C-alpha cells in the first residue's frame, strides 16, 4: 500500500542548513508533515516510493549513532538508495580537502547529501559546491535543525502546543548546536526559553537571542513545562569548564529533587547521547516524565518529512 501523504507541503528551498531563516509556516508545515510519518512508522508496512530513483549520501565526519541511523532509515523508508560514506577510511584521511571530497561525490550525482561536520559552517560550504540538496545533520556548535524539529514535534504531541510554554534548556549551552537550533525554533513558535548553566558554559552575547538566563537550577526550573538537558560535551572542551563532574552533577545535574522545582506535569528531554550521572540521573532519564525515547521515534518521522519536503522541490520532481 502506498498512500500519498495528505500534506502537499513543499520546502521551497534547496537545502536545510539551519532553523535560522525558516519561516513560521515552514516550521509548522514540516511538523504537520512529520505527523503523517509518525503514523506510517507505527505500521508494519512503512515503505513509500516518493524518493524512488533518488540517491542519498550520508557524510558523517563526526561519529553518530542515532542521527545517522535515523537519516538512513528515513531515506530507505521513502524509497531512496542510501549510501553511508565511511569518512574515517576515506581519502580525507589521506589529506583530501572537504571540497575535493564534495566534488568527487557530486560527480556521482547524489540528489541529497546529509552531512555532519565538526566545523561550524562546513555544511554551508558543501552546499555551495554540489548540485543536490544538502541537509545539515549538525555542524560544530552552529546548528542541528532536524534535532530542533524533532524536539518541537515531541513537545507539541505531548503538550498540544508550543506557544506559551516555558522551556528550560540546561547545561552545556556553549558547545551545543542543539541549544542554538532549539532557541531559534522555540522563539519562532512563541515559547518562553530559559537557559540554565554555569557562566563558563554560556556563550558571550547569548542574551541577544531573546532568552532568560540563570545560573541556578531552582530558579531556572521554576514553572517550567519542559526541562531539556544537554550533554556535557567534554570532547569539545579545551581546558577546564567545570571543576569536576561530581560538582557539576550536584549543581546542574537533573535528579528527582531538582525536577520537583518545575511544574508537576513537566516533561524531561535530552538529545542524546546521555551522560548518566553527569547531566542527568537514571531515575529521571528512565522515569515517567521522560520523553527521551519518544524523541528518538520522532527523529525518523521528522527526517522523512524533511527529505520528502525538499525532494518535492528537486529538479524532475
Q: Could you give the strand order of the β-sheet that contains 166-170, starting from the edge strand earlier in sequence?
A: 212-214, 192-196, 166-170, 226-229, 267-269
Q: Which of 77, 116, 177, 231 is catalytic?
A: 116
User: Using an 8 Å Cβ cutoff, are 86 and 40 in contact?
Assistant: no
Nearer to ligand ASP, 144 or 192 (CB): 144
* DSSP designation for 42: T
- Report d(CA 133, CA 250) in Å as an integer: 44
From residue 194, give the alpha-carbon distance in Å to each of 234, 247, 312.
23, 22, 36
Q: Which of 67, 146, 154, 166 is catalytic?
A: 67
Nearer to ligand ASP, 272 or 277 (CB): 272
Nearer to ligand ASP, 51 or 242 (CB): 242
| Nearest-approach distance from CB 52 to ligand ASP, in angstroms | 29
Q: Coil, helix or strand for 271?
A: coil
Q: Which three cell numbers stand for residue 138?
A: 549538525
Residue 116 known to be catalytic: yes
| Nearest-approach distance from CB 43 to ligand ASP, in angstroms | 27
| Nearest-approach distance from CB 271 to ligand ASP, in angstroms | 4
| Nearest-approach distance from CB 230 to ligand ASP, in angstroms | 7
- Report d(CA 270, CA 163) in Å as an integer: 20
Nearer to ligand ASP, 15 or 231 (CB): 231
Chain centre distance of CA 223: 25
Q: Which three cell numbers stand for residue 126?
A: 558543501
Q: Which of 144, 156, 231, 303 is catalytic?
A: 144
| Nearest-approach distance from CB 66 to ligand ASP, in angstroms | 7
Q: Which of 66, 159, 236, 276 is catalytic?
A: 66
Residue showing cell 532553523: 19
Nearer to ligand ASP, 130 or 178 (CB): 178
Q: Which three cell numbers stand for residue 48?
A: 513509500
Residue 312 known to be catalytic: no
Name the site residues for ligand ASP (rule: CB under 6 A). Answer: 138, 144, 177-178, 231, 233, 271-272
Beta pairing class for 226-229 and 212-214: unpaired
User: Using an 8 Å Cβ cutoff, are 87 and 60 in contact?
Assistant: yes
Residue nearest to ligand ASP (CB): 231
- Report d(CA 317, CA 313) in Å as an integer: 6
Residue 66 known to be catalytic: yes
Nearer to ligand ASP, 5 or 233 (CB): 233
Chain centre distance of CA 311: 20
Name 196's bridge partners.
Answer: 170, 214
Nearer to ligand ASP, 40 or 168 (CB): 168
- Report d(CA 121, CA 76) in Å as an integer: 27
- Report d(CA 32, CA 29) in Å as an integer: 5
User: Using an 8 Å Cβ cutoff, are 211 and 174 in contact?
Assistant: no
Catalytic residues: 66-67, 94, 116, 144
Amino acid at each position: 500500500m502506498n498512500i500519498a501523504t495528505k500534506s502537499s507541503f513543499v520546502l521551497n528551498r534547496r537545502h536545510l542548513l539551519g532553523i535560522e531563516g525558516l519561516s513560521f509556516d515552514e516550521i509548522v508545515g514540516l511538523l504537520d508533515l512529520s505527523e503523517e510519518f509518525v503514523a506510517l512508522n507505527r505500521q508494519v508496512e512503512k515503505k513509500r516510493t516518493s524518493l524512488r530513483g533518488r540517491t542519498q549520501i550520508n557524510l558523517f565526519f563526526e561519529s553518530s549513532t542515532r542521527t545517522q541511523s535515523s537519516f538512513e532509515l528515513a531515506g530507505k523508508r521513502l524509497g531512496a538508495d542510501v549510501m553511508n560514506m565511511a569518512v574515517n577510511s576515506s581519502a580525507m584521511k589521506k589529506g583530501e580537502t572537504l571540497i575535493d571530497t564534495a566534488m568527487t561525490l557530486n560527480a556521482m550525482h547524489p540528489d541529497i547529501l546529509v552531512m555532519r561536520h565538526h566545523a561550524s559552517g562546513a555544511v554551508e560550504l558543501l552546499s555551495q559546491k554540489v548540485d543536490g540538496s544538502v541537509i545539515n545533520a549538525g555542524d560544530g556548535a552552529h546548528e542541528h535543525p532536524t534535532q530542533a524539529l524533532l524536539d518541537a514535534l515531541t513537545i507539541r504531541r505531548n503538550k498540544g502546543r508550543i506557544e506559551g510554554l516555558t522551556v528550560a534548556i540546561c547545561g552545556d549551552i556553549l558547545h551545543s548546536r542543539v541549544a542554538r537550533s532549539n532557541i531559534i525554533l522555540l522563539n519562532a513558535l512563541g515559547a518562553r526559553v530559559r537557559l540554565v548553566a554555569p557562566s563558563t558554559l554560556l556563550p558571550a552575547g547569548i542574551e541577544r537571542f531573546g532568552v532568560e538566563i540563570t545560573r541556578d537550577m531552582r530558579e531556572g526550573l521554576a514553572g517550567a513545562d519542559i526541562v531539556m538537558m544537554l550533554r556535557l560535551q567534554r570532547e569539545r572542551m579545551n581546558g577546564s569548564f567545570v571543576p569536576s563532574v561530581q560538582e557539576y552533577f550536584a549543581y546542574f545535574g537533573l535528579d528527582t529533587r531538582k525536577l520537583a522545582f518545575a511544574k508537576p506535569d513537566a516533561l524531561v528531554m535530552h538529545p542524546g547521547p546521555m551522560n548518566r550521572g553527569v547531566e542527568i540521573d537514571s531515575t529521571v532519564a528512565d522515569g515517567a516524565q521522560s520523553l527521551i525515547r519518544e524523541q528518538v521515534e520522532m527523529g525518523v518521522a521528522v527526517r522523512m518529512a524533511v527529505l520528502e519536503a525538499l525532494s518535492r522541490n528537486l529538479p524532475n520532481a
